[in-house]
Amino acid sequence: GEDVEQSLFLSVREGDSSVINCTYTDSSSTYLYWYKQEPGAGLQLLTYIFSNMDMKQDQRLTVLLNKKDKHLSLRIADTQTGDSAIYFCAATGGSQGNLIFGKGTKLSVKP
Amino acid sequence: DTAVSQTPKYLVTQMGNDKSIKCEQNLGHDTMYWYKQDSKKFLKIMFSYNNKELIINETVPNRFSPKSPDKAHLNLHINSLELGDSAVYFCASSRFRGNRLRNTIYFGEGSWLTVV
């Protein structure tokens, strides 16, 4: 089955760029997603990328997909303290194509 | 207008009790899910229903029983609650089932269950 891995912690200074990395195992995953979870809150869909794309940009967010290496990254430009949250990578997989989540990367932004 | 709403948001209960969490979606989606997030923030699917039919039933104790009266509702009933059941339970929905098209999953705000 699908396995999604991401590092657990990332710390950056305000104004710097953040890059959160993720790897997945199922090459048939058609969509890959990034969700954001702020403290005490639910999961908010940030962005997604279709597997035939290499890059997708949405304001301060850039998603890069290397399908050959099964590597996905989320870059946040000009990171702000409000970006502090846990970021989950998710890939379609599983027996019914449900989402398989990584363990989440906790992003801490220092002023 | 909340797309996926679940109640209650917070629930504190004693071991051995039976409790339910309700979920409703107004997106017209065919598929609904329950995910569990443990104390380490790990998210794992528990159940999925498509048009009231159970399609995913992961390794979950049978004290947990989902019920889908219609495709807009998926409730989670938990019998004989144990300390280890303390977690955040997320309801979610998607337009389709399976790995097709852009089957984005939308999540509710979560229900924080604490068993004491």
Q: What is the pLDDT of residue A40?
A: 83
- Between B52 and A12, whose confidence is greater? A12
Using a pLDDT cut of 70, give the percent of chain A over it. 96
Q: Which residues contact A19 (CB under 8 A, 6 or more apart)?
A: A10, A73, A74, A75, A76
Residues 20-59 of B with CB under 8 A from A: 33, 40-45, 48, 55-56
Residues A11-63: pLDDT tens digits? 999 999 999 999 999 877 778 999 999 988 889 999 999 888 899 999 999 99
Q: B102 falls in which pLDDT band (50, 70, 90)? A: low
- In angstroms, what separates the C-alpha of A42 from chain B's closest C-alpha? 4
Residues B60-79: pLDDT tens digits? 899 999 999 999 999 999 99
- Between B87 and A97, whose confidence is greater? B87
Residues of chain A positioned with their CB less than 8 A from the CB of B55: 96
Partner-chain contact A96 B56, CB within 8 Å: yes
Q: Establish how many alpha carbons lie within 13 A of residue A9's alpha carbon, considering only the half-sphere containing its beta carbon.
A: 3
